[in-house]
């Protein structure tokens, strides 16, 4: 049994039951709000103001992350609503649903984390180099995105082959006949979703922050670097929030799944809440995104709203 599902089952008191119901409705809100927010983010980033990906190829990463953040909300998070309210797990309805959702629960977060690593790399190179590198070319970024997706697809492909089978009673078992799936794959997920991204994001974002500070102190600024400043600040904030809000849940469910169910549910809510935050964070910190969104809402052309930053 997945430790996240097991934690949901352990309800012994009225207070705990009330907390689970609150978490259930919160999970449903995350699904609805997160889907809407991330779709708005994706379509906003596809508008004419952001179509010049040769100038800012990092937009490819941002669009892809918006889609992966939607997928994140339909695995364990959705089951946190389905089971307390209706008494069954969506993951256990059919064999095909079990295989697909088991795959999605690991593929989506791992891909999302490594896309954010390469965003941090792109920001560091954009601020530290006067000329573009191989990693800053639009076509090469599409290759990187495709490579990340393919790698994690095959890393988790075993879910379609070796996991999920019918018990003698006719119910779906989410484990594997080949090896002990849980918590073995939780350890793998912890490495690819948290620990390795943690190391790389701290290193790269430290370099980004260093160069952003230098930009403020330098009197004769390079235009090629100024244009990356606003979007870099936005993406540094999102990557640091990623570390703060996702690591506790992954560590907790991997090593302390039987300790404190209430605390683990809070950590899990934090994790999935992070994948809803791109839209409000972009609205607050990224001027061009905010202007483009307002233009969409009021059906105005880009020219009617002055651009203040790049």
Contact 265, 20 (CB under 8 A): yes
Whether residue 244 has pLDDT greater than 90 = no
**Rounded distance between C-alpha atoms, residue 52 and residue 69, angstroms:** 23
Q: What is the mean pLDDT of residues 20-34?
A: 91
If you ran DSSP here, which 8-state letter would residue 171 be given?
A: P
Residue 43: count other Cβ atoms within 10 Å of its Cβ: 14
Higher per-residue pLDDT: 190 or 231: 190
Does residue 199 sit within a domain?
A: yes
* Widest distance between CA atoms in the chain: 74
Does residue 57 sit within a domain?
A: yes
Domain total in the chain? 1
Contact 135, 148 (CB under 8 A): no
**pLDDT of the residue at 11:** 45
**Rounded distance between C-alpha atoms, residue 2 and residue 6, angstroms:** 6
Q: What is the mean pLDDT of residues 246-254?
A: 78
**Rounded distance between C-alpha atoms, residue 295 and residue 176, angstroms:** 50
pLDDT in tens, 266-294: 888 889 999 999 899 888 888 888 888 88
- Residue 130: C-alpha distances to residues 32, 124, 125 (Å): 43, 11, 9
Q: What is the mean pLDDT of residues 138-156?
A: 95
Does residue 296 sit within a domain?
A: no
Does residue 31 sit within a domain?
A: yes
**pLDDT of the residue at 152:** 96
Does residue 169 sit within a domain?
A: yes
Whether residue 71 has pLDDT greater than 80 = yes
Q: What is the mean pLDDT of residues 251-255?
A: 74
The C-alpha torsion from 279 through 193 and 25 to 82, rounded to 10°, is 130
Does residue 299 sit within a domain?
A: no
Does residue 305 sit within a domain?
A: no
Whether residue 127 has pLDDT greater than 90 = no
pLDDT-derived band at 219 (thresholds 50, 70, 90) equals: very low
pLDDT-derived band at 167 (thresholds 50, 70, 90) equals: confident
**Rounded distance between C-alpha atoms, residue 97 and residue 101, angstroms:** 6
Question: Domain of 63?
Answer: 17-288
Contact 91, 97 (CB under 8 A): yes
pLDDT in tens, 1-21: 555 655 544 444 566 677 778
Q: Can you count the helices (H) and strands (E) in the chain?
A: 14, 2
Overall pTM surpassing 0.85 (yes/no): no
- Residue 30: C-alpha distances to residues 202, 209, 306 (Å): 27, 31, 33
pLDDT-derived band at 213 (thresholds 50, 70, 90) equals: confident
pLDDT in tens, 193-204: 988 988 898 898
| Portion of the chain with pLDDT greater than 70, in percent | 83
Does residue 49 sit within a domain?
A: yes
What is the CATH number for 283? 1.20.1070.10
**pLDDT of the residue at 231:** 67
pLDDT in tens, 36-66: 999 999 999 988 888 877 778 888 999 999 9
């Amino acid at each position: 049994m997945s430790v996240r599902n097991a934690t949901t089952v352990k309800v012994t008191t009225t207070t705990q039951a009330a907390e689970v119901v609150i978490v259930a409705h919160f999970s449903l809100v995350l699904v609805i709000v997160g889907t809407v927010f991330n779709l708005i983010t994706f379509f906003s980033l596809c508008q004419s103001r952001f179509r010049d990906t040769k100038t800012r190829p990092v937009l490819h990463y941002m669009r892809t992350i918006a889609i992966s953040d939607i997928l994140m909300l339909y695995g364990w998070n959705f089951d946190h609503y389905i089971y307390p309210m209706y008494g069954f797990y969506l993951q256990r309805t059919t064999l095909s649903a079990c295989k697909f959702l088991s795959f999605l629960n690991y593929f989506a977060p791992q891909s999302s984390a490594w896309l954010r690593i390469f965003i941090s790399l792109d920001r560091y190179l954009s601020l530290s180099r006067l000329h573009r590198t191989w990693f800053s070319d639009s076509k090469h970024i599409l290759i990187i995105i495709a490579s990340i997706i393919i790698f994690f697809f095959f890393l988790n492909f075993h879910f379609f082959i070796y996991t999920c089978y019918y018990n003698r009673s006719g119910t779906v078992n989410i484990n594997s006949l080949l090896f002990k799936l849980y918590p073995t794959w939780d350890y793998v997920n912890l490495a690819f979703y948290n620990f390795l991204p943690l190391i790389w994001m701290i290193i790269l974002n430290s370099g980004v922050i260093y160069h952003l500070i230098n930009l403020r102190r330098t009197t004769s600024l390079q235009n090629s670097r100024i244009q990356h400043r606003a979007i870099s600040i936005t993406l540094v904030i999102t990557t640091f929030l990623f570390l703060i809000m996702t690591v506790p849940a992954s560590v907790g469910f991997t090593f302390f799944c039987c300790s404190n169910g209430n605390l683990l549910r809070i950590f899990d809510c934090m994790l999935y809440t992070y994948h809803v935050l791109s839209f409000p964070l972009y609205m607050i910190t990224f001027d061009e995104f905010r202007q483009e969104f307002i233009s969409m809402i009021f059906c105005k052309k880009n020219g009617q709203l002055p651009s203040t930053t790049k």
